[in-house]
Amino acid sequence: MSTMTSERTSAALPDDPYGLAGQVLPRWAVPAVVVVAVALSGLLVVATPAHGPAQALVMAALLYLVVMTAASFAREGRRRAVDRLATTLIVASFLVALAPLTAIIVKVVVEGAGVVNGTFLTHSLRNIGPTDTGGGIYHGIVGTLEQAAITTVMAVPVAILTAVYLVEYGRGWLAKGITFFVDVMTGVPSIVAGLFVYTVWVLILGFQRSGFAVTFALAILMIPVVVRSTEEMLKLVPNELREASLALGVPRWRTIVKVVIPTALPGIVTGIMLGVARVMGETAPLLLLTGFTSSINTDLLHGPQASLPLIIFDQAQRPSAISVERAWGTALTLIVIVMLLNLAGRVVARFSRVR
C-alpha cells in the first residue's frame, strides 16, 4: 500500500509542481500565447490609429498578460494564475528597466566605434577646428583620470570611516544627524555642489579655477554614495564574526580592521566604483570650476583642464557632423574607461577577499 502511494505521489509531482490540486498548462502554452499576442497586436496596429514598434510591443505585452493569466486561471486555478501573473510582472519590469540601458549602449557603440582609433586616443584637439578632421581626446582622458584619482583619494577614506562609525560605534543624536546629512547629500544636484565650491574656493578664498577645485565638488558628490554602499556592506557581515574576535580578546578597532572590513571588501570596492563612475560623468561642476581647453594640461592646480564630459558637451553643441562624431567617440571611450575601472576593482576585491 505504501509503495503504491509513493508511486502515485511521485507520478503526480511533474504534473503538480506546487503540490496543489488541478492541472498544469502544457509547455507549448507560453510560446503559443506569445504568438497569439503578437498577432493580435499586429492586427490592432493595422486596424487602429496606433502605429510604431513601441506601441505594438506594449499592446503585445498587455495581451500576453491578459490571455496568459486567464488561461492559467481557467486550467490551473487561482494560486498558480496569481503566481504566473507576478512572475510575468517581475520579468516585464526587469526588461523595461534593461531596455533603456541596452538602447543607450548600442547607440553609443554604433555611433562611436568608427571614430575611436589610435590617433583619437593619443592626440588632443589643439588647433583642430569644428569642421576639421583628425584630433583626439587625450587631453580629456588625462584630465578625467587625474580628477577621478584625486577625488577618490579625498572621498573614500572619509566615506569609509563615516560608514564604520555609523555601523560599529554610532549611537544617539550624532549618528542620527550624520545619517540625515548623508541622505540629504545623496540628493544634492551636482550644480549645487559646484556653486558651493565656486563660492568658497574662488570667490571667498581667492584661488583660481582649476582641476583641483573640481575635485572638491566631485568629492561632495562621491562621499554619500560610498557611505551608503559601505554601510550596507558592513551590516551584512555576521555579528558572530565580531563576537568571536572580541571573545578572543582582540580590541574592537583591530576586529574592524582585520575581520569586518576585509569580509565586506568586495561590496565596499563595488560601492567605490559606483561613486567613481558617477563623478567621472559629471559636467556641471567642471563648467563652473575649470572650463574647457583643447590643449593638454596635466597640472591640476593651474589653468583650465579638459575632461571627457566637457569634450562631449563642447563637441555635441557644435553644428558640425564631425564634431558630433567626436562626441559619440568620447562617450564610448568614457563608458569603456568606467567599465575597465569596475573590472579592475572586482579583480582587486576578488584577490583581497578573506578566505
- Domain-located, residue 11: no
- Domain-located, residue 3: no
Interatomic CA distance for residues 314 and 324, integer angstroms? 9
Interatomic CA distance for residues 329 and 323, integer angstroms? 10
Instruction: Identify the CATH number of the domain in which residue 313 sits.
Output: 1.10.3720.10
pLDDT given at position 164? 92
- Domain-located, residue 232: yes
Task: Say whether both 108 and 128 belong to one domain.
Answer: no
Task: Say whether both 247 and 136 belong to one domain.
Answer: yes
Cβ within 8 Å of residue 292, ≥6 positions away? 304, 306, 310, 311, 313, 314
Q: What is the DSSP string of 66-127?
A: HHHHHHHHHHT-HHHHHHHHHHHHHHHHHHHHHHHHHHHHHHHHHHHTTT-SHHHHH---TT
Last residue within a domain, chosen from 112, 146, 176: 112
- Domain-located, residue 14: no
Structural domain harbouring 92:
21-112
Interatomic CA distance for residues 160 and 230, integer angstroms? 6
SS3 (DSSP) at 1:
coil
Interatomic CA distance for residues 246 and 316, integer angstroms? 58
- Domain-located, residue 298: yes
Interatomic CA distance for residues 160 and 314, integer angstroms? 35
The one-letter code for the residue type at 330 is T
Last residue within a domain, chosen from 77, 112, 147: 112
- Domain-located, residue 61: yes
Interatomic CA distance for residues 330 and 351, integer angstroms? 32
Task: Say whether both 256 and 337 belong to one domain.
Answer: yes
DSSP classification of residue 238: -
The C-alpha cell at 42 is: 499586429
Task: Say whether both 97 and 154 belong to one domain.
Answer: no
- Burial of 208-225, coded b for 16+ CB within 10 Å and e otherwise, reads ebbbbbbbbbbbbbbbbb
The C-alpha cell at 78 is: 487561482
Please measure the distance between the N-terminal and C-terminal CA atoms of the chain and give it in whole angstroms. 52
DSSP classification of residue 201: I
Task: Say whether both 185 and 264 belong to one domain.
Answer: yes
pLDDT given at position 52? 67
Task: Say whether both 58 and 99 belong to one domain.
Answer: yes
Last residue within a domain, chosen from 84, 112, 140: 112
Q: How many domains does the chain have?
A: 2
Q: How far is CA 110 from CA 105, 332, 338, in A?
A: 9, 9, 18
Q: What is the DSSP string of 20-54?
A: -SS----TTHHHHHHHHHHHHHHHHHHHSS--SHH
Task: Say whether both 270 and 142 belong to one domain.
Answer: yes
Cβ within 8 Å of residue 233, ≥6 positions away? 264, 267, 268, 271
**How many residues does this entry show for the chain?**
355
SS3 (DSSP) at 212:
helix
Residue ranges of the alpha helices (H) in 248-320? 252-255, 261-280, 284-289, 308-316
Please say whether the beta carbons of 241 and 254 come within 8 A.
no
Q: List the pLDDT tens digit at each of the 355 positions of the chain.
A: 444 444 444 444 444 444 444 577 777 877 888 888 778 777 776 666 666 677 777 778 888 888 888 888 887 778 888 888 888 888 888 988 898 889 899 999 998 888 888 888 888 888 887 777 778 889 889 999 999 999 999 999 999 999 999 998 888 888 889 889 988 888 888 899 999 999 999 899 888 888 899 999 999 999 999 999 999 999 988 888 888 988 888 888 899 988 898 888 888 888 898 889 888 888 888 888 888 888 888 888 888 888 999 999 888 888 788 888 899 999 999 999 988 888 887 777 776 654 4
pLDDT given at position 51? 66
Interatomic CA distance for residues 17 and 5, integer angstroms? 17
Task: Say whether both 260 and 185 belong to one domain.
Answer: yes
Task: Say whether both 99 and 152 belong to one domain.
Answer: no
Please say whether the beta carbons of 143 and 210 come within 8 A.
no
Task: Say whether both 263 and 300 belong to one domain.
Answer: yes
pLDDT given at position 15? 46
Task: Say whether both 167 and 65 belong to one domain.
Answer: no
- Domain-located, residue 2: no
- Domain-located, residue 7: no
Q: What is the DSSP string of 239-256?
A: HHHHHHHHHTT--HHHHI
The C-alpha cell at 230 is: 559601505
Task: Say whether both 101 and 221 belong to one domain.
Answer: no
